[in-house]
Homo-oligomer: A and B are copies of this chain.
Amino acid sequence: MVQLLQGAALPVAVCAGSLCARWGSSHGGHKSGQYQRSHGPNWRHALAGLLAGTGAVLAYGLHHSQTEQAATTIVQPIAPASSLPIYTQDEVTKHRSVEEGVWVTYKGSVYDITEFVSMHPGGDKILLAAGGALEPFWALYAVHSQGHVLEILSEYKVGELSAEDRRKQQSVKSTDPYSTDPERHPALRINSLKPFNAEPPPEILSDNYITPSAIFFKRNHLPVPQVDPKSYRLQVEGVSGGAPLSLSLEELKTRFPKHTVTATLQCAGNRRSEMNKVKQVKGLNWGIAAISNATWSGARLKDVLLAAGYRPEVAQQTSHVQFEGLDSDVTGTTYGASIPLNKAVSEEGDVLLAYQMNGEDLPADHGYPVRVVVPGTVGARNVKWLGKIIVSDEESSSHWQQNDYKGFSPATDWDTVDFKSAPAIQELPVQSAITQPAEGAVVERSAEEVTVKGYAWSGGGREVVRVDVSLDGGRTWQVAQLQSSEKGQVPAPSPPPGRAWAWKLWELTAPLPPAAQELEIVCKAVDNSYNMQPDSVAPIWNLRGVLSNAWHRVKVTVKEDEEEQKLL
């Protein structure tokens, strides 16, 4: 089993692709101290910088989670050391295993990274680069383009690539798989640039009941694929008694009734930053806005499965419907996820193969030309750039279904976690957060009242029926007004039971408590199964930082008017 660095925060913002697929599950095998024996003296310094204790690691993680835009700056090539031997590509290619040695090239230099393999934070996926160039792999995750990563690499330099092979490498355009990613709205707060992950500012989020597509939170696991709508085919396989089906975009649009659903999507990691304040977790440092609400139109998954030969009477209760995206890493591994068959085929499940978002073609970041929309279910199962649907007795074998997006006890750490012991997240628990005022805002005493706004939503089609707001840290509560349409519009009729897919915005205007110099504003929502949000974060903390739905708290200062201040 490959040994990994413990505690290294490198993948905080980037362990999202299959290159990191075994990060979580193989991590448990680590024995502390082992890495110290396996490298030379010069190594220690660079590694110590990486491992200089929690403080440094957290600072590093924080730096990265804020934005990775800096990572796009051009990396300086390492100066060649002419005393080292010259190798041909053929000689390098012979070193592709731990037994034969693991060699790689980078910008014309040759590196023997055999000893580093067991320490690679991304796991043994590093072997995919063995015998070849690092560039295409590093391009996939921008975290590698950091000065200290190059420092580490330089310790392993063993030679130079021959001039001829350098020329050959340079003639193969070193493509950035993210170079064709679409333009994004400048208002978005970027958590990771490659892959692109960003959320809108909270105060903008609650301005619209239907989130404009441009500021709808983006959560990509891989580069945005370029899909030609003319040649696009959706494959449907595995239907018991049926035959494989292949649909063009046009066929999907014309052979099946168009169905429209307004549904909120939420990332499993929404509000992860609050868990990070308790104790560092792995994952993008989302604020409260990895959640948005849109109107989706497309064919029902149920109708497509029926067309592929699905017959309800032969359905096995425990079956699953797997989805494969067209987004993939350099190894060709695509994004994948699955949902239970009963959700997929339920008349009331409203699962869509959506080709429109808010009345227009899906934007590139949201899965053009076709994505799955699984209302009430965690964002990760709403597979974008959908390429294939497979009915199966098994859940998706993907990293994201098996070894990610699951909840654990606060007692579970990376040494003890058993991903098989927890179910893949499907329906999400009840959630709410305050979008206004912002943390640290100042309220004027002369205003006499304060307006608090936010969103509330629950998974599984459970309707939010009440939001309680406290101005005093949870000691006393007031009931907020719920809003289930754009302001000023006639509210939508109450959804049928179990099909409340869209969030509610809420608002409370309350008198400023006399004498209070600080308000601790708290919100908590209740859904129609009367599930409540837990009071505090620490007891629901989990190593992946998912399912963060404790009461949301915002502290604001009450500023006395100058005249009053004079009197005091």
Residues of A near any B CB (own CB < 8 A): 317-318, 340, 342-343, 348, 407, 409-412, 422-423, 425-430, 459-460, 462-463, 465-466, 468, 474, 476-479, 496-498, 524, 526, 528-536, 539-540, 547, 549
Contact = CB atoms under 8 A, between A and B. Distances in A.
A515 B325 CA distance: 55
Contacts of A479: 409, 411-412
A466 B536 CA distance: 18
A406 to B, nearest CB: 9
Contacts of A531: 429-430, 529, 531
Nearest to A539: B474
A411 B476 CA distance: 7
Contacts of A466: 407, 409, 422
Interface centre among A318, A340, A536, A539 (most CB of B within 10 A): A539
A495 to B, nearest CB: 9
A419 to B, nearest CB: 13
A407 B535 contact: no
Nearest to A406: B530
B407 A530 contact: yes
A294 to B, nearest CB: 22
B477 A411 contact: yes
10 contacts: A318-B496, A407-B526, A409-B468, A411-B468, A423-B463, A423-B465, A425-B530, A427-B530, A429-B532, A477-B539
A477 B532 contact: no
Q: 5 tightest CB-CB pairs across the interface, nearest first?
A: A317-B496, A535-B535, A427-B529, A429-B531, A340-B497
A392 to B, nearest CB: 15
A152 to B, nearest CB: 37
Contacts of A477: 409-411, 539
A410 B478 CA distance: 9
A449 B331 CA distance: 51
Given A342-B497, A478-B411, A539-B524, A428 B534 contact: no
Nearest to A475: B538
Contacts of A460: 460, 529
Contacts of A465: 422-423
Given A466-B422, A535-B535, A343 B529 contact: no
A428 B539 contact: no
Contacts of A526: 407
A539 B553 CA distance: 14
Contacts of A497: 317, 340, 342-343, 426
Nearest to A342: B497
A497 B319 CA distance: 10
Contacts of A425: 530
A531 B526 CA distance: 11
Contacts of A547: 530
B468 A410 contact: yes
Nearest to A522: B539
A239 to B, nearest CB: 19
Nearest to A541: B477
A498 B428 contact: no
Given A411-B477, A459-B529, 11 more contacts: A317-B496, A342-B498, A409-B477, A410-B468, A411-B478, A427-B530, A428-B529, A430-B531, A477-B539, A524-B539, A532-B534
A530 to B, nearest CB: 5
Nearest to A534: B532
B535 A536 contact: yes
A532 B458 CA distance: 13
Nearest to A427: B529
B426 A528 contact: yes
A120 B535 CA distance: 40
A428 B529 CA distance: 5
Contacts of A535: 534-536, 539
A432 B317 CA distance: 27
Nearest to A320: B497
A343 to B, nearest CB: 7
A524 B318 CA distance: 28
Nearest to A318: B496
Candidate in A476, A477, A529 with the most chain B CB atoms within 10 angstroms: A529
A495 B429 CA distance: 20
A426 B529 contact: yes
A348 to B, nearest CB: 7
Nearest to A341: B497
A410 B470 CA distance: 11
Contacts of A534: 532-535
Contacts of A529: 426-429, 459-460, 531
Contact of A348 (B342, B412, B528): B342
A529 B425 CA distance: 7
Nearest to A540: B532
Contacts of A468: 409-411, 539
Nearest to A408: B466
A551 B534 CA distance: 10
Contacts of A348: 342
Contact of A428 (B411, B422, B530): B530
A254 B536 CA distance: 53
A159 to B, nearest CB: 52
A36 to B, nearest CB: 30
Contacts of A343: 497
